[in-house]
Structures are given as structure tokens and as C-alpha cells.
Amino acid sequence: MTAEDGVDPVPSPGFVELTGTVIGRVGAGPPPGAADVSLPDGYLLPGLVDLQVNGYFGVEFQTADAAGWADVARQLPSTGTTAFVPTLITVPVESLALALRTVAGFAGDLPASGARVLGVHLEGPFISPERRGAHNPAWITNATPASIGALIEAGRGLLRLVTLAPERPGGLDAIDQLVAAGVLVSVGHSDATAEQVSAAAARGARMVTHLFNAQRPLAHREPGVVGQALTDERLTSGLIADLYHVAVPVCGLAFRAAPGRIALVTDAAAPAGMPPGEYLLGAEPITLPASGAPPVRSDGTLAGSALRMDVAVANAVLCGVPLAAAVAAATRIPADLIGRPDLGRIAAGAAADLVWLGPDLRTRATWIAGHLVYTDGAAATLASLQA
């Protein structure tokens, strides 16, 4: 599947030529000469882009060191993800600032063979206690110019996304301050009315975090966060398509109500890619049950997910979303939202980040900057890549 900017094509045969680390040429039909790699079936897609990853493979970003971050980056291409935004949830502002300074010190040294780190997402602590979800209420606080400034300074350009509740004291002014610093602002863990969400968008907020979850729901007289997210052309919503956080009919509804404004996210936590057991989220315990359901706090509150991005695409298709729209929601749309138009598309000049999904939409091989960084090891896969 290839695309020009803003156009989501139907799957069709074609070829892609690489020039170093970028895509040099894209065409329909057979290549003009002998191909170095020929894929017999499935789909060649842009690498998947995930804007919300709390952890993976047993690693929680909130508490991990450089080796833990590097381990996740190396393994994420096995899920089709080639770029992601590590997420830190609510802790005291001083702890978040320390974490940002620590990560800024090693982010530039993460392995080139791993998924690209696009910056850090702070999900909290400037959120609503009424819509806190798995966040610790003792650490929730109101935004102030000093606290926002401290986080911006600590991130040293690494802070790329902040989820906050605009209805809280200082919320709208915080949006101004963050947007001026080049940070994407998302409405989330919020009890805002539709009018308050609209006011946040007017100040520069451009995203809604995990649509339907931990936010004022849609009602027929007060549209809430959900209603405004689905109808406001300024807003793109993250959606956890694990079919637990949001039911199948509602996932399909979101795509129909807001075409081109849904970005698939995993909201993955440390248990993702791991066996059932005890893990951490926000430095506090969570449990991944053996049932296949998402991880939970001790009170049963959902606490992130164990979702893969390639499975998110497959689940969206299961919900009735056309494949091209599901792919765009995992590639071009989040890439553009985070300010990386060089990612998330197969087009001349774009980064040569690619993923081969089989007909079952599971990852067979992944390339980052033109280099093969993952294969599923199957004989048929290896034979195709060596052709």
C-alpha cells in the first residue's frame, strides 16, 4: 500500500525503491528491474507509529534505566512499530522533572536498530480526580506556570505530548504555555464539558487521549469530552482498539463519526508481550490476568493494555474499518499529529520505515531507515527476504 500525503489507498501491487535511509521512488505494478526483495502476499505498510506506550516486554518507562528503554526500542519492531512516544503517568511534578532530565541524558544514545523514540508523553499529573482511572489521586495537582515551565525545561526538547484536563484550575493557561513550547496537548482524564473541550481546542489542544476512557462520556444534552472529540475537526483522538477498552460497535462508530481523526494507540504497559503476572505502572502494582484481558489495579480498574499495534490494526478491520483507514490511523495520522510528516507514509522522501504484515495482519518483517531489523523467523519469510 502506497500513499501520497493525505490519501489512503486501497491495497494494490506495486514497488518501492530505497535510496539509503529514505524512500526514493514508489510505483504501481511490477518494478522496472529485478527486485532485491519480493513479498508474495500480505501488505507492505509504513512502519506503525504509537503515541502512547507506558512500557512493554516487562519494562516500565517510569522506573527503567537506559538499558530498559533500549530493550523496548529493539523489540517493538516485532509488533510492526517503528516509532513511538514513551509515556509517563501521574507522579509528583518533581519526580516527573527528574525522570525527564534522566531520559534526556540518554535518549540520544538509544540503538539505531530500534524503534524511533519521538519524545516523551506526560499523561498527568494535571488531570481530573473524578476521571483518574489508574492514576494515583494523591499525586494529581493543578497546573501552574512554574510547574509547566519546570517540565518543559527538564525535557530539553524531549517533551512532545502532555495529557491534561482543561477544566482544572490553570488548565487553559497551561495549554498556551505548552503549545508555545512546541508541545502537543491532549485532553484526557478529564471531566470537561463539550464547551470546555472546545475552549481547549481554541487555545491549541489538538488531541484527545484514549477516547471513551477516563473522560466525561457522550450524553444527549451534554456531549462531554467524547461528543466534542467526535465532532470537532480540530481534534484527533487516540483509540485503544484492544476490544476491551472500547467495544467493537463503538470502535467502528468512532471511525465513522471522525474519519481521518482517529489515531490507534496501544496504551501498552509493562505486561505487554509478557506472561500473566505482577508488573508496574506509574511505579505501582498492576496485574496481567491469564484471561487475555488488559492489566488491572487491585480494585479492578483497567491499567493500560497488553496490545500490539499490528493487532490494533487487525482489530480495527474486525470492527468494520476499511484496511486503508485502519492503516492510516496507525501510521500517517499519528505521525502528522506529532509533527513528523517524514514518517507514516510510503512516499518519495519519507523515511524508509516499513513493515510487512501477512494476510492475517501480523508482522513478518520490519525495516527502519532501510535496514531489516526484525523477521518472524519463518522459513517462508526468510526465503522471500533472500530472493
Q: What is the pLDDT of residues 211-249, one digit of tens each?
A: 999 999 999 999 999 999 999 999 999 999 999 999 999
Which of 232, 267, 310, 353 is catalytic? The answer is 267
pTM: 0.96
Q: pLDDT band for 112, please (50, 70, 90 cuts).
A: confident
Give the tens place of pLDDT for each residue, 117-155.
999 999 999 999 999 999 999 999 999 999 999 999 999
Homologous superfamily of domain range 44-346: Metal-dependent hydrolases (3.20.20.140)
Q: pLDDT band for 2, please (50, 70, 90 cuts).
A: very low
SS (H, E, C) 162-179: EEECCCCCCHHHHHHHHH
For residue 8, the model assigns a pLDDT of 59
Q: What is the DSSP string of 100-167?
A: HHHHHHHGGGS-TTSPEE--EEEE-SSS-GGG-TTS-GGG-----HHHHHHHHHHHTT-EEEEEE-TT
Is 267 part of the annotated catalytic residue set? yes
For residue 146, the model assigns a pLDDT of 98
**CA pair distance 97, 8, nearest whole angstrom:** 39
Give the tens place of pLDDT for each residue, 326-377.
999 999 999 999 999 999 999 999 999 999 999 999 999 999 999 999 999 9
Give the tens place of pLDDT for each residue, 16-68.
999 999 999 999 988 888 888 999 999 999 999 999 999 999 999 999 999 99
For residue 178, the model assigns a pLDDT of 98
Pairing of strands 81-89, 120-123: parallel
For residue 30, the model assigns a pLDDT of 87
For residue 34, the model assigns a pLDDT of 85
- Residue 60: DSSP 8-state: E
Distances (CA, A) of 385 to 56, 205, 262, 379: 28, 43, 33, 10
pLDDT above 70 covers a percentage of the chain that reads 97
- Residue 278: DSSP 8-state: E
Cis link prior to 125 (omega < 30° from 0)? Answer: yes
Residue 309, pLDDT > 60, answer: yes
Q: pLDDT band for 4, please (50, 70, 90 cuts).
A: very low
For residue 250, the model assigns a pLDDT of 98
Give the tens place of pLDDT for each residue, 179-219.
999 999 999 999 999 999 999 999 999 999 999 999 999 99
